[in-house]
Amino acid sequence: MSVDQKTVRRIAHLARIKVSEADVPRLEGELNSILHWIEQLNEVNVEGVEPLTSVVAMKMKKRADVVTDGNYPQDVTRNAPAAEDEFFMVPKVVE
Amino acid sequence: MNSELRIADKKDWLKGATGDWEVIIGMEVHAQVSSKAKLFSGASAEYGGEPNDHVSLVDAAMPGMLPVINEFCVEQAVKTGLGLKAQINPHSVFDRKNYFYPDLPQGYQISQYKQPVVGEGVVRVDVEDGHSIDVGIERLHLEQDAGKSLHDQHPNMSFVDLNRSGVALMEIVSRPDMRSADEAKAYVTKLRQIMRYLGTCDGNMEQGSLRADINVSVRRPGEPFGTRCEIKNVNSIRFMGQAIAYEARRQIGVLEDGGKIDQETRLFDAKKGETRSMRSKEEAHDYRYFPDPDLLPLELEADWIAHIKAALPELPDEKRDRFIKDYGLSAYDADVLIAERASAAYFETVAKGRDGKTAANWVINELFGRLNKEGKDIENTPVSADQLGAVIDLIQAGTISGKIAKDVFEIVWTEGGNPAEIVEKRGLRQVTDTGAIEKAVDDIIAGNPDKVEQVKAKPTMLGWFVGQVMKTTGGKANPQAVNQILRQKLGL
């Protein structure tokens, strides 16, 4: 598997990362070398091996259905570039 | 049965300029889980609230915050799955669905992609015209809801409130098994009913607790499926019907004009009653799902699932069948009574130790009729099941007539009180003393010789005499006795 320059631009856009045209060829090379390395891993035979989801044998931690958090809208919006009346303000998005 | 094979009833075919068409519908219903706290945080899941008040730092996606799953939300999803007669998967996985939108602070929604918590199931759906269909359930998975944007507060800014962000949703995906707007509406109604019985979703559509994405395509009857369009986020059952009807017509128009359908996402505009393309979202369809590294797989113990299963309440289908069998009710009456769990429970209290059909008639005609008229629901009924039962007992015992019983019901509705005491205090007891009735009959016969002549020629005039006797006895005379005595004295 490999990516072309068009795919590099698309991935950057999907991730909302600004990539200049000059950087595209370099990123194409870097991404392809990563993909190439992953392809080497594909050579290993993993027939019958369960996927590893955690390096320690543990169950997922769960919480009870109790309200324990919230009620601090000022804290939630404190770092927002723009906020008013405890709302976040963002450039208008209308469908 | 293979979804593609089922052909719609001919009456549901849509006439086009070039022949008949069949509409194919599949749905993704988003149902908000009834819970106190959110799916992965301890913030309140309650509807409404001051802006950003039900928000924890997890919901706001502050750096370093980690999700911890709410076990009760998982239980609710499993319960719903069991209610849909579906496979429960003991091993499921949470994935990240990546996209950017201002109401999604994480930049991804935690959802389930390839390994959902609930697999295949089936729902029996009774459509209004009397036919039933089985709608296949493909899957049910848990996911987070997004926040809410307000666009009318400022000329060029949108306001974002994250109170809903992170609230648990169940996405229920059906097979493309519906063939008309009515079938689709009946399916959503049934899902809502099942979840309300289970207490897993309140089904409050005004508050957005239940919304649907509707996949619509058309085909010539019996041919392979056509290309579908997805109508996003329709939040009322009536609108669902309108959106499907419009979209099917639109697609038929395009195809009959020699065009082709583009697979796309559309929005339903309730004001105009039409759907329109939503092209801006097209690109976002590359969600780049991958397992969420913050969450381990969800493992469910067989014992735990069995425990939930054992505690399931009686579901609508079973209750309906039992009402028909045990109380001798018609399918229609049974459906009306089981629509809500509370109304079914009310009926059963009234019917206990009494005649089922009589109880059903009173509950449906008098109680529901009155509740509807006043816009009240069964939870706020002024007449309790015990009071209504007592009214029925008074009729059965011959203490009051059916007509007086309606008056007693009215008094209990407006003033409350014990029906038997009301009857005693207000002297509403039925006159069964034939002597008193005979006297009233004699007086009326004596006072109306002209009518007596008429009734001999025209026996239907008897009703007038009955009315007169009832009037002079204040409606308290036993109607059977009045009839009998009148017939005898008039020689009919």
- Which pLDDT score is estimated for B20? 95
Of the pLDDT bands very low, low, confident and very high (cuts 50, 70, 90), residue B1 is: low
CB-CB neighbors (< 8 A) of A64 in chain B: 70-72
The mean predicted confidence, pLDDT, of chain B is 92
**Beta strand A62-63 with B69-70: parallel, antiparallel or unpaired?**
parallel
Chain A residue set in contact with B, beta carbons under 8 Å:
14, 16, 53-54, 58-71, 73, 75-77, 82, 84-95
CB contact under 8 Å between B51 and A90, yes or no, is: no
Give me the DSSP letters along B324-361.
Answer: HHHH---HHHHHHHHSSHHHHHHHHHHHTTS-HHHHHH
CA distances for B18 relative to B14, B21, B220, B255, B420, angstroms: 11, 9, 10, 10, 69
CB contact under 8 Å between B36 and A65, yes or no, is: yes
Of the pLDDT bands very low, low, confident and very high (cuts 50, 70, 90), residue B173 is: very high
Nearest to residue B275, comparing CAs of B253, B245, B243?
B243
Residue B37 sits at the chain A interface (C-beta within 8 Å): yes
What is the pTM assigned to this prediction? 0.86
More confident residue, B41 or B447: B41
- CA pair distance B449, B459, nearest whole angstrom: 15
HEC per residue, B225-246:
CCCCEEEEEECCHHHHHHHHHH
Between the ranges A50-64, B9-23, B172-186, B368-382, where is the mean pLDDT highest? B172-186
CB contact under 8 Å between A93 and B278, yes or no, is: no
More confident residue, A32 or B478: A32
CB contact under 8 Å between B151 and A61, yes or no, is: no
pLDDT for B419 beyond 70: yes
pLDDT for B227 beyond 70: yes
pLDDT for B488 beyond 90: no
- Pick the residue from chain B with its C-alpha nearest to A94: B151
- Which pLDDT score is estimated for B485? 84
Phi, psi at B442, each rounded to 5°: -60, -45
Percent of residues, chain B, with pLDDT higher than 90: 75
pLDDT for A95 beyond 60: no
| DSSP one-letter code for B178 | B
Spatial contact of A63 and B42, defined as CB atoms under 8 Å apart: yes
Q: Which of B33, B38, B52 should be substituted to probe chain A, the one whose Cβ sees the most A Cβ atoms within 10 Å?
A: B52
Nearest CB partner across the interface for B36, out of A53, A67, A84 = A67
Nearest CB partner across the interface for B37, out of A67, A84, A90 = A67
ipTM score of the complex?
A: 0.89
- Which pLDDT score is estimated for B399? 85
- Which pLDDT score is estimated for B284? 54
CB contact under 8 Å between A66 and B36, yes or no, is: yes
Nearest to residue B445, comparing CAs of B421, B469, B463, B428?
B469
Q: Give mean pLDDT, residues B362-391.
A: 94
Phi, psi at B120, each rounded to 5°: -70, 140
More confident residue, B353 or B446: B353
- CA pair distance B279, B2, nearest whole angstrom: 32
Nearest CB partner across the interface for B296, out of A16, A54, A89 = A54
CB contact under 8 Å between A70 and B288, yes or no, is: no
- Which pLDDT score is estimated for B492? 75
pLDDT for B285 beyond 80: no
Tokens of B217: 């395509």
Between the ranges A46-60, B185-199, B395-409, where is the mean pLDDT highest? B185-199
- Which pLDDT score is estimated for B160? 97
CB-CB neighbors (< 8 A) of B157 in chain A: 82, 89-92
Lowest-pLDDT range, A59-73, B80-94, B376-390, B432-446? B432-446
Of the pLDDT bands very low, low, confident and very high (cuts 50, 70, 90), residue B283 is: low
How many residues make up chain B in this entry? 492
More confident residue, B398 or A18: A18
Non-local (6+) Cβ contacts of B366 within 8 A are B388, B406, B409
Q: Give mean pLDDT, residues B189-211.
A: 96
pLDDT for B413 beyond 60: yes
CB-CB neighbors (< 8 A) of B54 in chain A: 70
Q: Which of A7, A78, A79, A87 should be substituted to probe chain B, the one whose Cβ sees the most B Cβ atoms within 10 Å?
A: A87
CB-CB neighbors (< 8 A) of A63 in chain B: 37, 42, 68-71
Q: Which of A88, A92, A95 should be substituted to probe chain B, the one whose Cβ sees the most B Cβ atoms within 10 Å?
A: A88
- CA pair distance A15, B393, nearest whole angstrom: 72
Q: What is the distance in angstroms between the Cα of A22 and the nearest Cα belonging to chain B?
A: 24
Residue B290 sits at the chain A interface (C-beta within 8 Å): no
- Which pLDDT score is estimated for B487? 84
CB-CB neighbors (< 8 A) of A73 in chain B: 50-53, 55
pLDDT tens by residue, B462-475 = 888 888 888 887 77
Nearest CB partner across the interface for B149, out of A53, A71, A93 = A93
Q: Give mean pLDDT, residues B182-205.
A: 96
Nearest CB partner across the interface for B296, out of A60, A67, A92 = A60
Lowest-pLDDT range, B192-206, B315-329, B395-409? B395-409
Residue type, B74: V
Tokens of B306: 């069995």
- Pick the residue from chain B with its C-alpha nearest to A83: B159
- Which pLDDT score is estimated for B304? 97
Q: Give mean pLDDT, residues A64-93.
A: 95
- The domains of chain B, with CATH numbers, are 3-308 (no CATH), 313-425 (no CATH), 434-490 (1.10.10.410)
- CA pair distance A54, B213, nearest whole angstrom: 35
